[in-house]
Structure 1
Amino acid sequence: MFESNDTFVEEAVKVVESGAMKAKKLCLLAATLLFCVAMISTTGIIKTILAILTIVAGLSYCWILGYKNIEYEYDYTNGSLEIAKIINNEKRKKVVSIEPSEVKLVAAVGTNESLKYDHVNLKTYDCSSNQEDDKDYILVAHSEAKGYDFKVIFNPSEKLLNAMSKYNKHDIYA
């Protein structure tokens, strides 16, 4: 019988719309309506400018509406973590790929280990669900190819953390 010692964990985390995104949508909708009403009551070149602003604000609003269903998928295979962003269950975009040798730290946000990197200016990938109930973790890694450190904020399950600790025993603080 064939046995495999491969480690594979796949998880999907649905992102909750933030207050900032709701505010952007509301402001763009209000701007579209305001420009439209103002356009009706004016004439000449101002009417043309308001028509252009109405179209731009309306298209921006429609573009933001297209990002209403966002998920992050964490694929962990034999020490390598790949995070992809899935938009409206149609478009998949790779966010980051991390090898086990690149991992410096994985710890819950707010712990002593993670606070060391709280005020360090690193490129940050926020791949979390933005839900208050979910526990956020920070992963700090160094990319040899890019030549800099970066951090990832994400919501791994216990299963994923256990799989990660198999390959990075001293760097995982779960």
Structure 2
Amino acid sequence: MDSYIEQLVEHKQDYRDFLIKVVMILSIFAILSLGVLFGLMVNAYLMVVGFFIAVFDIYFCWYVISGRRVEYEYTVTNNNLQIDKVMAKRRRKEVLSIDIKKIEGFDKITENRLNAKKCNKVFYLGTYEDDPSQHRFIVQTKNYGRIMVVFAPNEKVLNEIKKHLKPEVKIEMLKAASQK
């Protein structure tokens, strides 16, 4: 029987996003102020030019700020997990597509059983980096080598992933659960 489950997770904005918003808004005021100042001091033509530059800056700021809204879509189809990055609901990029049976280790992020030092790269594809409800797994990929993926699945996605894990990984998870 085929199975298909998907989930959309919104990435929480952090201080970097706030800083980008502040810089963008300050750039609008700076361009408007300089346009008015040069228009009064030199020529009224420069005020009009400054106004048009400010309009383009407003559009640019809107584009950058709205582009910082990121969601991750987890799709489990049979034994395949695909994670897509959706930026501002206008662009979609496939981040990762793996066979669940190739997962070497799987745990909740608070369990600290998996070692990130043995991985080439760590992907944070969840709500935010320090969220204790997230899970992680290690997998070998063609493009990146051995990677760790941190993500925030709901119970339906989590149960579907657990169905397709290798028996060794399931046993390791059961041992860890029994030691609590």
Q: Which amino acid aligns with 2:100?
A: P
Total equivalences in the alignment: 164
| CA spacing shift, 1:59–1:124, aligned 2, 3 Å | farther
Question: For 1:117-128, what aligned pairs fall within 5 Å after superposition?
Answer: 117=116, 119-120=117-118, 122-128=120-126
Deviates more, 1:79-88 or 1:131-140: 131-140
Question: For 1:18-167, what aligned pairs fall within 5 Å after superposition?
Answer: 18-42=14-38, 58-67=58-67, 69-114=69-114, 116-117=115-116, 119-120=117-118, 122-130=120-128, 135-143=133-141, 145-146=142-143, 148-167=145-164
Secondary structure of the 1:139 match is strand
Q: Work out the percentage of aligned pairs sharing the same amino acid.
A: 19
**2: CA distance between counterparts of 1:105 and 1:35?**
52
Q: Which amino acid aligns with 1:162?
A: N
Deviations 1:28-75 (A, max 9, x none): 11123123313432467xx8xxx6986785454122233254322111
**1: CA distance between counterparts of 2:28 and 2:36?**
13
Secondary structure of the 1:171 match is helix
Deviations 1:106-131 (A, max 9, x none): 211132213x11x4563233221239
- TM-score after normalising by structure 1: 0.74
**2: CA distance between counterparts of 1:124 and 1:36?**
42
- TM-score after normalising by structure 2: 0.71
Deviations 1:74-125 (A, max 9, x none): 11122210011223444332111011243122211132213x11x4563233
**1: CA distance between counterparts of 2:59 and 2:145?**
37
Alpha-carbon distance, 1:19 to partner: 2.5
Q: Which amino acid aligns with 1:111?
A: E
Q: CA RMSD in A?
A: 3.2
**1: CA distance between counterparts of 2:64 and 2:144?**
33
Secondary structure of the 1:23 match is helix
Secondary structure of the 2:148 match is strand
